[in-house]
Amino acid sequence: MPFNSLDYTVIAAYFAVMIIVGALARKRGQENLEDYFTGGKNLPWWLIGTSMVATTFAADTPLAVTGITASDGIAGNWIWWNFMFSGLITVFLYAKLWKRADVITDVEFISIRYSGRPAKLLRGFRALYLAFPINCIILGWVTVGMAKVLTILTGAEQWAIILLLYLLIGVYISFSGLWGVIITDFIQFIIAMGGSILLAYYAVSHIGGLNQLKAEMSDLFGSGHAMLSLNPFNKPEIAIATVLVWVGMMWWASWYPGAEPGGGGYIAQRMFSAKDERNAVGGTLLFNVAHYALRPWPWILVGLVAMVVYPGLDDPESGYPLLMLELLPAGLLGLLSVSFLAAFVSTVSTHLNWGASYVVNDFYKPFLKPDSDFDSPEKAQKHYVFVSRISTLLMMLVAIGVSYLFDSVKGGWEAILSIGAGTGLVYMLRWFWWRINAWSEIAAMSGAAVGSFLAPIIGFDGFAAKMIFTTVFSTIIWIAATFSTAPADEKTLQTFYDRVKPGGPGWKRFVSPGEKRPSLLPGVVYAALSAISILALLSGMGQVFFGSTVIGAGCVVGGVAGLCFVVKQI
């Protein structure tokens, strides 16, 4: 085992900090579901934004980026960069609306937007669907990533360690609730990001600097290679997929955790926990800037070095932890191991809490044990918090079982994208068009599931072809269902409009005489400017590393200036 006493001291210090945070979180009041699942709805933008970033920074993420870069070069990362467009639209068009909805989960939104038996059916089904198969698939690939790291770093039986970690995390989160998750996320993001930057520095230094890395890449792939370019059109074999699927379609068509079209999932949960609309917008913007502009380059640099140092690896994703073992001195190896632990803990804790919120708030409470079964609201809330803790532990056990079914991080990503293809447009339009109803969502989800199953049978085998077929198939299904079924009743629609005040022409019939409807144009403009700014930061750093320092610095300055302008408008 490569660890020495200093490494073990660093790891022990990390667990000590987490125990202290957990103890403090346990003392915080958790009298009701709002406290337990939304932190009392009183959190500042910088805390919820950092929590979002930490949640999407799992142990699998650096490994996945390493594998993608080894396969398709830097431009291959457009498979997840494309979601910045959906994320920024969420910031400027949906964050305020989610906060005004004033619910505990995004699934509860169904009960205020739709009416009748279809709404009840959709809420119950979607709660269990997201809590178990979808949430546990996500936890499955996160666990696979951590298992790979543990295997390489310790040589021990990784699943024994995984079981222990899950047990500790499950107990910790069941008692601390969302407040404990968010505070832990803040600490763990600092550790995980700092570790990534340190490893990138050691990796580039080991290869002899950036110029030597470029030379080694040319030797490996030939002088005309495009592995260091962000431009997908420089690599013809992925250009069509990039235009049609990644940039052109996936960001609006597919449901994906952390990048849901129109917001949703744990991103929406963080918006609910903000103290006001401005903090909801600010926190979500911070997440998107950090997620897409600040984090990728340390992982990409390590991935590129791993390609040169370990050419021809059967599993390119393993290059990341292999470099950790080879390059890091005593103490820093422990710190980098802690950074992976921190990333793993932050993601698992969020998903356990988020999944339990669906089970209790959207299934158990409305269908099995409603408020009317209790003598007082206080007794009801105390009971629901207790059931939430039990549900968290149940979620943990199911996630462990599902984790055994995965052997590829990228495979998990593609599975989630495929079964959600075509649903995204419904989740966006339901806010701005009164005609969308519960059957629209049911049809979209069913159509995506059936379409992803039929695609390979019909002959759409590649990922890009499968996504296009499934999106077209499910879109036809939900549009037909929308116009062949009745909308929500007028009272529900009017109450929803009065509560949320969505802009645009889609709610014109519910606007009071003389009332001014909010315009969607400023939000679209700010989202576009933010996207341009993030792309400037991304490409600017790429130029600094592998091109012109002057051009790169100019792009970075321009990107920062654009984001500063947008922040002043919030």
Rounded Cα distance between 44 and 274, Å, is 6
Residue 173 is predicted with a pLDDT of 84
> 307-347, pLDDT tens digit by residue?
999 998 888 888 998 998 889 887 888 888 888 888 888 88
Cβ 18 vs Cβ 346: under 8 Å: no
SS3 content of the chain, % helix, strand, coil (to 5): 80, 0, 20
Q: Which residues contact 548 (CB under 8 A, 6 or more apart)?
A: none
Q: Tell me the DSSP string of 524-569.
A: HHHHHHHHHHHHHHHHHHHHHHHS-HHHHHHHHHHHHHHHHHHHHH
The torsion defined by the Cα of 542, 546, 549 and 553, in degrees rounded to 10, comes to 0
CATH class of the domain at 5-419: mainly alpha
In this prediction, the residues of the chain whose per-residue pLDDT falls under 50 are none
The distance from CA 287 to its chain's CA centroid, rounded to whole angstroms, is: 10
| Domains of the chain by residue range | 5-419, 524-570
Residue 501 is predicted with a pLDDT of 93
Residue 409 is predicted with a pLDDT of 53
Rounded Cα distance between 75 and 66, Å, is 12
Q: What are phi and psi of 274, to 5 degrees?
A: -70, 150
Q: Which residue, among 394, 114, 86, 108, has the nearest Cα to 247 in the 3D structure?
A: 86
Q: Please, what is the angle between helix 277-289 and helix 549-569, to 10°?
A: 170
* CA distance between the termini of the chain: 51
Residue 28 is predicted with a pLDDT of 67
The torsion defined by the Cα of 46, 51, 56 and 61, in degrees rounded to 10, comes to 90
* CA diameter of the chain: 76
> 272-286, pLDDT tens digit by residue?
999 999 999 999 999
Residue 15 is predicted with a pLDDT of 84
Residue 276 is predicted with a pLDDT of 96
Residue 439 is predicted with a pLDDT of 97
Residue 551 is predicted with a pLDDT of 96
- Helix (H/G/I), strand (E/B), else coil: 274: strand
Instruction: Match 């609201």 to its residue by tokens.
Output: 377
